[in-house]
């Protein structure tokens, strides 16, 4: 039977992470009848994106959600960049330190009262050109004109829909998250520091240390294998391994200790096939993953939400049916395709610039370092100081 009080909805969103929750908020605020299906009423702790940068903040601002989601969270406007034990410079930035589950739950709090928040597991789906039916494990059935699949890395629902995944790089990257405290008390030098890998052999892209409330959080982005002894050693003796692998880190960041557990996340790079079908669309990681070191995953997800929910869905709902021609318009959207392509390109670039040892990449890294040093020196020039004072 149908969920009580629900006949035919405009949109059913399955998956209440970042992209699914924000999609439900945006569509409901526009007056559409929406259901959001997820296993958790309150999104649980999840080691994923832990801070937002300027493109992501801009996307949330365009969607009218930035101020509400970041309420009470300070915006850091300067990042200190270091490498090989030296500070290269402090550069303008936009950064909000927020754990992924905090971002999602802040978005959940914005769901309008009319949204059907259905807590449960999806057992089956039926899709077509006119009606989409979602069967929950407890027997409830919800129907709607459009199904948005925002299930992230989970593949069960995509598989039921006949979607397949093309694995581009298994174990593309490995990301670590942990808290830092000053080893000698007091405070760290900067609220946001990015320290670049010292040696290609370590396969470390960079470490980002940023404030989340009163905590200094660190994300270490690497292109290592989770089965390596190095990974286990970092989990068990993080300070020793960090000081060996990034010997200049403490000179830029300040003496540190690792407090609490080390969280690990391995990322596969994949994209989807067989998704041009009537009745449903894939967004966020359900469609394509991104490399965490590239920082494009949240940007991709928000681009999907913005284009789908502000451009395409209103057009689709204005006329009967939900055929392939409508669905394809989203996948062919120029802004979406550019975002997907940039995320994939940057994922491969970050791995290459971090790990490749050939002459081409060696010279490229040298040029990048020289540019960063020159930028740092320009900051200290009288002209730069005058501009800052003005």
List, for residues 133-183, the tens digit of each pLDDT value: 999 999 999 999 999 999 999 999 999 999 999 999 999 999 999 999 999
Q: Which residue has the higher pLDDT, 383 or 137?
A: 137
Mark whether 339 and 366 lie in a shared domain.
no
Length reported for the chain: 390
Residue 315 within a domain: yes
Confidence class for position 241, pLDDT limits 50, 70, 90: very high
Mark whether 50 and 135 lie in a shared domain.
yes
Mark whether 123 and 150 lie in a shared domain.
yes
d(CA 341, CA 343): 5
Residue 198 within a domain: no
* Whether pLDDT at 2 is above 50: no
Strand order in the sheet with 164-182: 51-53, 86-97, 75-83, 192-196, 204-212, 215-222, 164-182, 256-273
* Whether pLDDT at 1 is above 60: no
d(CA 84, CA 97): 25
Q: Among 5-14, 74-83, 176-185, 332-341, which stretch is predicted with the lowest mean pLDDT?
A: 5-14
Summary mean pLDDT of the chain: 94
Give me the half-sphere count of Cα atoms (radius 13 Å) on the Cβ side of residue 199: 9
Confidence class for position 6, pLDDT limits 50, 70, 90: very low
Mark whether 41 and 127 lie in a shared domain.
yes
* Whether pLDDT at 118 is above 50: yes
Q: What is the structure's pLDDT at 226?
A: 92
Residue 53 within a domain: yes
Mark whether 294 and 383 lie in a shared domain.
no
Q: What percent of the chain has pLDDT over 70?
A: 95
**What are the tokens at 55?**
């493109």
Mark whether 277 and 310 lie in a shared domain.
yes
pLDDT digits 0-9 by tens, 297-330: 999 999 999 999 999 999 999 999 999 999 999 9
Residue 216 within a domain: no
Domain that holds residue 129: 9-74+97-167+270-349
pLDDT digits 0-9 by tens, 289-300: 999 999 999 999
Mark whether 155 and 50 lie in a shared domain.
yes
Mark whether 101 and 120 lie in a shared domain.
yes
* Whether pLDDT at 384 is above 90: no
d(CA 218, CA 207): 7
Q: What is the structure's pLDDT at 380?
A: 59
Confidence class for position 185, pLDDT limits 50, 70, 90: confident
Report pTM: 0.93
Please give the average per-residue pLDDT across 67-80, as a whole number.
96
Among 145, 110, 117, smallest CA distance to 3 is for 117
Domains in the chain, number: 2
Residue 102 within a domain: yes
Q: What is the structure's pLDDT at 3?
A: 47
Q: What is the structure's pLDDT at 178?
A: 97
3-state helix, strand, coil in the chain (%, to 5): 40, 30, 30
Mark whether 388 and 276 lie in a shared domain.
no
* Whether pLDDT at 43 is above 90: yes
125 — alpha (psi -120 to 50), left (phi > 0) or beta? beta
Q: Provide the CATH number for the domain around residue 121.
A: 3.50.50.60
Q: What is the structure's pLDDT at 389?
A: 41
Mark whether 108 and 28 lie in a shared domain.
yes
d(CA 390, CA 387): 5
Confidence class for position 372, pLDDT limits 50, 70, 90: confident
- For residue 154, the 8-state DSSP code is -
Q: What percent of the chain has pLDDT over 90?
A: 91
Identify the three-state secondary structure at position 346: helix
Residue 81 within a domain: no
Query: Do residues 104 and 18 make contact, with C-beta atoms less than 8 angstroms apart?
Result: yes
* Whether pLDDT at 390 is above 50: no
Confidence class for position 378, pLDDT limits 50, 70, 90: confident
* Whether pLDDT at 37 is above 50: yes
Mark whether 17 and 110 lie in a shared domain.
yes
Mark whether 41 and 157 lie in a shared domain.
yes
**What are the tokens at 372?**
């960063």
């Amino acid at each position: 039977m149908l969920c009580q009080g629900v006949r035919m909805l405009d949109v059913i969103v399955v998956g209440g992470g970042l992209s699914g929750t924000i999609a439900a908020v945006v569509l409901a605020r526009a007056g559409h009848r929406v259901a959001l299906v997820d296993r958790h009423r309150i999104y649980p702790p999840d080691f994923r994106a832990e801070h937002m940068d300027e493109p992501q903040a801009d996307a949330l601002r365009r969607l009218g959600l930035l101020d509400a989601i970041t309420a009470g969270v300070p915006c850091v406007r300067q990042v200190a960049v270091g490498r090989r034990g030296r500070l290269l410079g402090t550069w303008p930035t936009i950064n909000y330190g927020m754990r992924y589950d905090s971002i999602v739950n802040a978005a959940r709090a914005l769901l309008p009262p009319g949204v059907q928040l259905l807590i449960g597991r999806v057992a089956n789906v039926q899709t077509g050109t006119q009606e989409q039916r979602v069967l929950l494990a407890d027997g409830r059935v919800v129907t709607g004109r459009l199904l948005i699949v925002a299930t992230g890395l989970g593949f069960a629902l995509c598989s039921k829909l006949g979607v397949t995944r093309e694995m581009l790089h298994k174990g593309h990257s490995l990301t670590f998250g942990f808290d830092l405290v000053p080893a000698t008390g007091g405070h760290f030098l900067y609220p946001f520091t990015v320290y670049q890998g010292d040696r290609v052999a370590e396969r470390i892209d960079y470490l980002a240390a940023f404030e989340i409330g009163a905590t200094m959080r660190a994300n270490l982005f690497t292109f290592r294998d989770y089965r390596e002894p190095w990974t286990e050693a970092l989990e068990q003796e993080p300070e020793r391994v960090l000081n060996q692998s990034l010997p200049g880190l403490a000179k830029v960041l300040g003496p540190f200790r690792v407090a609490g557990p080390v969280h690990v996340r391995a990322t596969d790079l994949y994209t989807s096939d067989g998704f041009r079908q009537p009745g449903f669309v894939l967004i966020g990681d359900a469609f394509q993953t991104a490399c965490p070191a590239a920082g494009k995953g949240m940007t991709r997800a928000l681009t999907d939400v913005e284009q789908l929910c502000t451009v395409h869905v209103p057009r689709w709902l204005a006329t009967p049916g939900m055929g392939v021609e409508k669905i394809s318009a989203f996948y062919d959207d120029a802004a979406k395709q550019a975002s997907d392509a940039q995320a994939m390109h940057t994922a491969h670039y970050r791995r290459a610039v971090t790990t490749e040892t050939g002459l081409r990449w060696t010279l490229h890294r040298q040029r990048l370092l020289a540019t960063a040093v020159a930028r740092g020196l320009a900051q200290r020039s009288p002209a730069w100081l005058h501009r800052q004072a003005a």
